[in-house]
């Protein structure tokens, strides 16, 4: 629509590299600002490309936001997935919590916005749901359960919601040290899981 | 803007009665549909008044939605507040949970939408925050604590988030009976509170 020339692209990239570059630029931006306000011009500016190019890859603002949310979710899940399986349950859970809390601390605005606005958009909602289910499965795997029962899945989702809410609230008010928060949430998990999981193969030990 | 005549008003009401009537009409509508899609024309139609009259009371769609959300929050808080103080903690908590779950069951779309979209709007967010804090205080009162410590408040907020998430998830999949869900969440509360509340005056007893 505009007659303005496209900004010069810095180098030639293949489509998937370009896609990844734009998503990375968006992900860097939402460490500072809210995901639901991320726009194509922001990403174009940050990546040094034209708006038209961003629109070519992401026809709507929601497509762009969804791609960035998906990349953020991947980063977050990767935090959990790289935990040392040799650690005792309690230590692994505490390490996972530290990763999660540190991750949210780096981008509180964006995480809060995502978790609190995702319901209004089917794409974001689906990413959020899928990420929660993956985290449920990672935790179930960590305690040696391949197929969590509906009851255990429900309880794990509840615990994840608790972790998210307490972490966001903690960021606002910091009523205790980070280690204390992690300890509290780890203990909460070990208090809750036995309520839901007669199938837990062995009681958790070590680290708590 | 339109030349269409105003719909006839059914009767003369004072401003505060009219305000209450419009909010009640909105609240009835969001039992069936999502709050974040509630519009002035919907409310005008349901209340049998002109759109102009609705806009007079609620200049923006968000004002209307916020008023309806506030009324919904009042209803919800009233569910808890009318619990019999003579009941043992466990029974009172279970009765409160039954009220909450039943309330959400009656308007799942709206509640999910509110809880998941409130972050994108400062007015809705404030109502949501305030409601959570009130529920925290009601629970603290119920266990005999006037001023919950930051640690206990954090844990109670976490538990409330867990209740909300598990209830919404339970509505989707119904993996267990309602009573079983209530039992699970009551037990969860009694597993969690002692982690946060050295100040709990007496251990909970009865009902669990």
- Residue pLDDT, tens place only, B40-71: 999 999 999 999 999 999 999 989 999 998 99
Q: How confident is the model at residue A73 (pLDDT cuts 50, 70, 90)?
A: confident
- Check whether B99 has a pLDDT greater than 50: yes
By C-alpha distance, the chain B residue nearest A175 is B150
Residues of chain B contacting residue A118, judged by C-beta atoms under 8 Å apart = 116
- Count of C-beta atoms within a 10 Å radius of residue B121: 19
Higher pLDDT, B69 or B5: B69
Output the six-digit token pair for A83. 């935990």
By C-alpha distance, the chain A residue nearest B112 is A119
- Check whether B149 has a pLDDT greater than 70: yes
Residue ranges of B 18-77 with Cβ closer than 8 A to chain A: 36
The values of phi and psi at residue A9, to 5°, are: -80, 145
Residues of chain A contacting residue B125, judged by C-beta atoms under 8 Å apart = 116
- Check whether A201 has a pLDDT greater than 60: no
**CA atoms of B23 and B15, how far apart (whole Å):** 12
Q: How confident is the model at residue B119 (pLDDT cuts 50, 70, 90)?
A: low
What is the per-residue pLDDT for A83?
76
In the block, tokens 């998830």 appear at B169
Chain A CB within 8 Å of residue B107 CB: no
Residues of chain B contacting residue A196, judged by C-beta atoms under 8 Å apart = 184
Q: Which of A120, A124, A173 to mutate to test the interface with B (most CBs of B within 10 A)?
A: A120
C-alpha distances in angstroms, B57 versus A36, A89, B19, B73, B126?
A: 29, 56, 7, 20, 20
Q: Which of A166, A168, A170, A192 to mutate to test the interface with B (most CBs of B within 10 A)?
A: A166
- The whole-model pTM stands at 0.80
> B162 near B188, Cβ under 8 Å?
yes
Contact A176 B119 (CB under 8 A): no
B187 vs A117, A175, A195: nearest CB? A195
- Check whether A123 has a pLDDT greater than 50: yes
Chain B CB within 8 Å of residue A84 CB: no
The values of phi and psi at residue A137, to 5°, are: -65, -40
**CA atoms of A193 and A156, how far apart (whole Å):** 8
Residues of chain A contacting residue B185, judged by C-beta atoms under 8 Å apart = 158
What is the per-residue pLDDT for B104?
83
Contact A191 B196 (CB under 8 A): no
| Portion of chain A with pLDDT greater than 90, in percent | 25
Average pLDDT over residues A157-170: 90
| Portion of chain B with pLDDT greater than 70, in percent | 84
A56 CA: distance to closest CA in chain B (Å): 27
- The answer, yes or no, to whether ipTM is higher than 0.90 is no
Q: How confident is the model at residue B207 (pLDDT cuts 50, 70, 90)?
A: very low
What is the per-residue pLDDT for B115?
67
- How many contacts (CB atoms, under 8 Å) link A and B? 112
Average pLDDT over residues A96-112: 80
What is the per-residue pLDDT for A137?
87
- Count of C-beta atoms within a 10 Å radius of residue A167: 25
- Check whether B2 has a pLDDT greater than 50: no
Chain A CB within 8 Å of residue B164 CB: yes
Q: How confident is the model at residue A95 (pLDDT cuts 50, 70, 90)?
A: confident
Contact B188 A150 (CB under 8 A): no
Residues of chain A contacting residue B110, judged by C-beta atoms under 8 Å apart = none
A150 vs B161, B175, B187: nearest CB? B175
């Amino acid at each position: 629509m505009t007659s303005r020339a496209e900004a010069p692209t810095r180098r030639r990239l293949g489509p998937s590299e370009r896609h990844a570059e734009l998503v990375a630029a968006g992900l860097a931006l939402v460490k500072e600002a809210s995901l639901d306000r991320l726009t194509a011009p922001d990403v174009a500016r940050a990546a040094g490309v034209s708006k038209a190019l961003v629109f070519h890859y992401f026809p709507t603002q929601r497509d762009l936001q969804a791609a960035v949310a998906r990349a953020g979710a991947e980063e977050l899940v990767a935090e959990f997935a790289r935990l040392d399986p040799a650690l005792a349950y309690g230590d692994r859970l505490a390490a996972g919590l530290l990763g999660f809390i540190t991750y949210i601390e780096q981008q509180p605005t964006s995480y809060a916005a995502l978790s609190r606005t995702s319901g209004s958009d089917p794409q974001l909602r689906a990413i959020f749901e899928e990420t929660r289910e993956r985290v449920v499965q990672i935790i179930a795997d960590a305690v040696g359960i391949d197929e969590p029962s509906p009851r255990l899945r429900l309880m794990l989702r509840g615990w994840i919601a608790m972790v998210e809410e307490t972490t966001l609230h903690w960021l606002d008010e910091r009523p205790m040290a980070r280690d204390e928060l992690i300890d509290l949430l780890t203990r909460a998990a070990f208090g809750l899981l036995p309520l839901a999981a007669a199938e837990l193969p062995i009681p958790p030990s070590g680290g708590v």
